[in-house]
């Protein structure tokens, strides 16, 4: 009698072990069950990003995103995966106050979603928090370079690492969060030579978004990758589809058919069975 094979999802430990394997780490954001199901066979981990605030809710920044929102979307994504590791962003204000606050909110996130780990932004200033969390069983994905939750301090979304002082701070931040126990970290919108140098010095995978092809992996916001925003395209985004005009065209055709009474046709309705 054969024992059925149980398919297990990829773990944060397996993501970490991809460093130096020659196999780039593939990641996309996801916020809903149907999209998670579509992406799941193709990625190593799904990131439930706080970018949900802009792409799903229409916020101007991620600062308005709440812990309850991230838990709801994290749980939705978990219902759609069989293979991928799932990491959920910690929203602004849920981890910066203290390591204890961060652990409490991250623990709630993991319990209520079933996700595999959390992501938080920051370099050296977050090392103590990351250490506190990882020592207590919370896998942490770090995030350095452009950290969108700090937009009010930065003043713009321009690339980071353009001055020697800024590059040095980002490099030391990368080292600090790795030593604190992060299993990997995102490098966002950072000058390519700096991102490459950080990757070469790092003992854990670096995940680039607007950083460098030399990073150990890449992540993109799904809605950007799919071309759902035709009015704005960051420099580091490549459209692998152009769904915005297709969706608009489909809506236009549907509206025209409803107004002309071409839809629903007989085949779209329930007719009495002939006796």
Q: What tens digit of pLDDT does each residue of 248-259 get?
A: 999 999 999 999
Q: What tens digit of pLDDT does each residue of 220-231 get?
A: 999 999 999 867
What pLDDT shows up at residue 232? 65
Whole-number Cα distances in Å, 121 to 83, 173, 226, 243, 251: 26, 11, 25, 30, 38
Binding residues for 3-methyl-2-oxobutanoate, as ranges, are 50-51, 89, 119
**Banded pLDDT at 275 (limits 50, 70, 90):** confident
Mean model confidence pLDDT for the chain: 94
Q: Name all domains of the chain by residue range, CATH numbers in brackets.
A: 12-242 (3.20.20.60)
Cα separation of 113 and 110, whole Å? 5
252 belongs to the catalytic site: no
Q: What tens digit of pLDDT does each residue of 165-179 get?
A: 999 999 999 999 999
What pLDDT shows up at residue 236? 84
Q: Per the omega criterion (within 30 degrees of 0), is the bond before 185 cis?
A: no
Over the range 69-92, which residues count as b (16 or more CB within 10 Å of their CB) and which as e?
bbbebbbbbbebbebbbbbbbbbb
Binding residues for Mg(2+), as ranges, are 50, 89, 121
Q: Is the pLDDT of residue 154 over 80?
A: no
**Banded pLDDT at 140 (limits 50, 70, 90):** very high
Output DSSP code: residue 30: -
Q: Which of 64, 112, 178, 188 is catalytic?
A: 188
Output DSSP code: residue 56: T
- Burial (0-12, 13-18, 19+ Cβ within 10 Å), 160: buried
Q: What tens digit of pLDDT does each residue of 108-128 get?
A: 999 999 999 999 999 999 999
Q: Tell me if 9 sits within 8 A of 45, measured CB to CB.
A: no
Q: Is the dihedral of CA 220, 221, 227, 231 positive or negative?
A: negative
| Residue with the larger pLDDT of the pair 77 and 232 | 77
């Amino acid at each position: 009698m054969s024992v059925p094979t149980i398919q297990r999802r990829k773990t944060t430990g397996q993501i970490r072990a991809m460093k130096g394997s020659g196999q780039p780490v593939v990641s996309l954001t996801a916020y809903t069950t149907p999209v998670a199901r579509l992406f799941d066979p193709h990625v190593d981990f799904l990131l439930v990003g706080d970018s949900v605030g802009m792409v799903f809710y229409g916020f101007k920044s991620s600062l308005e995103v709440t812990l309850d929102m991230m838990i709801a979307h994290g749980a939705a994504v978990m219902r759609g995966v069989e293979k991928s590791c799932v990491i959920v962003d910690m929203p602004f204000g849920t981890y910066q106050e203290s390591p204890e606050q961060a652990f409490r909110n991250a623990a709630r996130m993991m319990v209520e979603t079933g996700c595999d780990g959390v992501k938080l932004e920051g370099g050296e200033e977050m090392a103590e928090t990351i250490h506190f969390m990882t020592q207590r069983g919370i896998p942490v994905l770090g995030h350095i370079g452009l950290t969108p939750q700090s937009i009010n301090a930065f003043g713009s979304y321009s690339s980071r690492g353009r001055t020697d002082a800024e590059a040095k701070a980002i490099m030391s931040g990368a080292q600090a969060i790795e030593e604190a126990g992060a299993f990997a970290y995102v490098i966002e919108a950072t000058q390519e030579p700096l991102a490459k140098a950080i990757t070469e010095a790092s003992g854990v995978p670096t995940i680039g978004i607007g950083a460098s092809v030399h990073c150990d992996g890449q992540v993109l916001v799904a809605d950007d990758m799919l071309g759902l925003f035709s009015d704005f395209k960051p420099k580091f985004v490549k459209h692998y589809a152009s769904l915005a005009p297709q969706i608009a065209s489909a809506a236009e055709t549907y509206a025209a058919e409803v107004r002309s009474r071409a839809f629903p046709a007989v085949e779209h309705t329930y007719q009495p069975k002939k006796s």
